[in-house]
Structure formats: C-alpha cells, structure tokens
Chains A and B, each alone.
Chain A
C-alpha cells in the first residue's frame, strides 16, 4: 500500500523559508506514471494547489506562488520536497503531499498533512 508522509518544522518565522519533505513508501517515486504534488489548506479554509513535479524534475507551480516556490525530487531517497520562501502568517496551513496518477489524472494518494505555523 502506497504511503506518503510529510515531514519538517511545524513553526517557521516570518520572512524565513518553509521547508518540507514528502517520503513515499510502498512504491517508487521514479516512475513515468505519476506526478507528485503539494497542496495546502489554511485553517478552516479550502484546498490550494502549490505545485507539482515529475520524476525527471519537470515542475509546474501555482502562478500565485511561483515566485516563492521550489519543488525538487530525490529519487534515490524516494522523496520530494517543497521550499516556500519569504513566508508570512498567510502561509500558515496544513501542507499535504499527494500523487497524481496519469491513469486517472487526479490525485489518488495523499499524505496525512503537516501543520506549519508562521509566527515569531
């Protein structure tokens, strides 16, 4: 059974860089059949796509966040990562990683999510 697990600091100071990793187990991240993505959810609000990455390193970002986001992939460790720079309180959210399967063209596996709070 495929599992995704987010990890990283739960508290980040304003203006600093938020860094999270998503470790994939039960399957390989180095596959041409999937995209790997990040989605966030501010407390009490809806879902917002941050960006996605292919196993070859091709990336796509939400235009509203593009200037601050970097997503990378480490196939040797079966994980992918998110960096969001110059964070503010508005970036406080639960951050989810997810897999998009080309067969169904929708995110079919999600991590449990990790809450990141931006505060001094």
Chain B
C-alpha cells in the first residue's frame, strides 16, 4: 500500500510571497509505462477538489502559471510563485492508477 505524506500540514503565507508543498510517497510512483502518475489538487473552502497538475508537472488548462510541479520517483513539490487570495485552500497530492487512488493528507495554505 502506497502512503503519501505531505509537509507542512499548514502554510501561512504573505500575499505575493511564494509557497512550497512537499509530497513524499512510500514507493516509487514511476509506472511500468515510464510515466509518473502524481497529481496535485486544490480544494477551496466549501468547494470540491479541482485538478491543478497531473503527471508531476503538467498544468491543466486554465491553471495560472504561478503554480508549478516538480519531482521524481518518491519526492514531489508543488510551488506557488506568488500567493494570491484566491489560492487559499487545501492542496492534496495524489497518485492514481485505474485500480486505486491514494491521497496525501492535505496542506492548508492560508494568508498571514
């Protein structure tokens, strides 16, 4: 069973400053097809999750370029280059293959 661990649990950030979230998995997420199925979701207060980034670093259409993903193997990072008020919420890393979906426990981004 793969376990996804996110740090920090909470990230108070000043508007306009960067934020960084780490996600570590207990097993390599490199699939036999060579791809790495690590995604990042954003959940704003009172909203369903929203896909931001898939396969480590691919932004979904409409996601601002201040969001970026990086990493490989078992260690991944989501960065927000300049936090805006609309970025407040909880961010989840997740690993999904057809047969199982695994979520990190979430990181709360809030404004100082």
Contacts and interface: CB of A to CB of B under 8 A. Distances in A.
Interface string A37-63: 101000000111100101000001011
Contacts, number: 74
Contacts of A102: 98
B49 A110 contact: yes
A105 B101 contact: no
Nearest to B100: A60
Nearest to A47: B103
Given A49-B101, A60-B100, A106 B39 contact: yes
Interface residues of B, number: 28
B92 interface: yes
A35 interface: yes
Instruction: State which size class the interface on A falls in.
Output: 20 to 34
Contacts of A48: 103
A62 B92 CA distance: 18
A56 to B, nearest CB: 12
B102 A49 contact: yes
A62 B101 CA distance: 8
B82 interface: no
A86 to B, nearest CB: 23
A107 B103 contact: no
Given A46-B90, A47-B94, 17 more contacts: A39-B101, A46-B103, A47-B43, A47-B49, A48-B103, A49-B102, A60-B100, A62-B100, A98-B49, A104-B55, A105-B97, A106-B51, A106-B55, A106-B96, A107-B41, A108-B51, A108-B60
Interface of A: 35, 37, 39, 46-49, 52, 54, 60, 62-63, 96, 98, 100, 102, 104-108, 110-113
